[in-house]
Amino acid sequence: MSFFERLKKEASAEWRAYTEHPFTDGLADGSLPEAAFRHYLVQDYLFLIEFARAYALAVYKSPGLADMREAATGLSAILDVEMNLHVELCAGWGLSPDDLERAAPAVEVLAYTRYVLDAGMRGDLLALKVALAPCVIGYAEIATRLAARPNASATTNPYRVWIAEYAGAPYQAVAANARAHLDSLAERYVTPARHAELIAIFKEAARLEADFWEMGWRAGPA
């Protein structure tokens, strides 16, 4: 079993609560209230700014050049690709990138991003990549599941662009690379004594992902 599979198995309750959250079903069939999606997306823009810092920290924490390049690719995927999706979708509501940057961050954004940055600052690159894994690999898994649903790509589904972005080949390749890199780091740096520490980090990050969906979900009409 790969290191990533092992993490997922050990954290199966947290992983399911995150990847099968009702918010994701609402995206798949288009039933998610717009207010919920909008709140999520604005907060996610702020989240991505902080996540870019975590990838920059991964560059700094990299023992070798190959690790550094992998982290730099992740940084660029956020700043040059993923945030464009947010800017385009938010422009549809009349929100500019400046408006997004000026929004007040929700506690869920602060909790998650501070947790990941702290795990990376006190730990090594492997600990940081374990904290980043639910985010990067989880979204690929979620989008693949959603894209297979009957209404996911229907023109009547307002969330089809979001699903297509994360289910599409370019993003799936980013996630596959992240997964392969995590497994290779684990081969180099995991010792039996570290398992508990790494599983705890993975569980916590998955739990904070579920809280992030929950934040969006609560912003929809009751």
- Mark out the alpha helices in the chain (DSSP H runs): 3-10, 12-19, 22-29, 34-61, 65-76, 83-91, 97-102, 107-122, 125-147, 160-167, 169-189, 195-218
Q: Which stretch binds ligand VIB (CB under 6 A): 2-10, 41-49, 97-105, 196-204?
A: 41-49
Among 7, 126, 135, 186, binds ligand VIB (CB under 6 A): 135
Residue with tokens 């979620």: 142
Q: Residue 67 interacts with ligand VIB (CB under 6 A)?
A: no
Distance CA 218, CA 23 (A): 10
Distance CA 33, CA 30 (A): 8
Q: Residue 82 interacts with ligand VIB (CB under 6 A)?
A: yes
Q: Residue 77 interacts with ligand VIB (CB under 6 A)?
A: yes
Among 26, 74, 216, 220, binds ligand VIB (CB under 6 A): 74
Tokens of 126: 């492997």
Distance CA 96, CA 98 (A): 5
Q: Which stretch binds ligand VIB (CB under 6 A): 8-16, 44-52, 88-96, 143-151?
A: 44-52
Distance CA 73, CA 80 (A): 10
The full length of the chain comes to 222
Annotated active-site residue in 82, 135, 141, 165: 135
Binding pattern to ligand VIB, positions 139-178, x when CB under 6 A? x----------------------------------x----
What spatial distance separates the first Cα and last Cα of the chain, rounded to whole Å?
42
Q: Residue 51 interacts with ligand VIB (CB under 6 A)?
A: yes
Q: Residue 36 interacts with ligand VIB (CB under 6 A)?
A: no
**Residue 74 or 120: which CB sits closer to ligand VIB?**
74
Task: Say whether 135 is catalytic.
Answer: yes
List residues near ligand VIB by CB under 6 A.
Answer: 44, 47-48, 51, 74, 77-78, 82, 135-136, 139, 174, 209, 212
Active-site annotation, residues = 135, 209
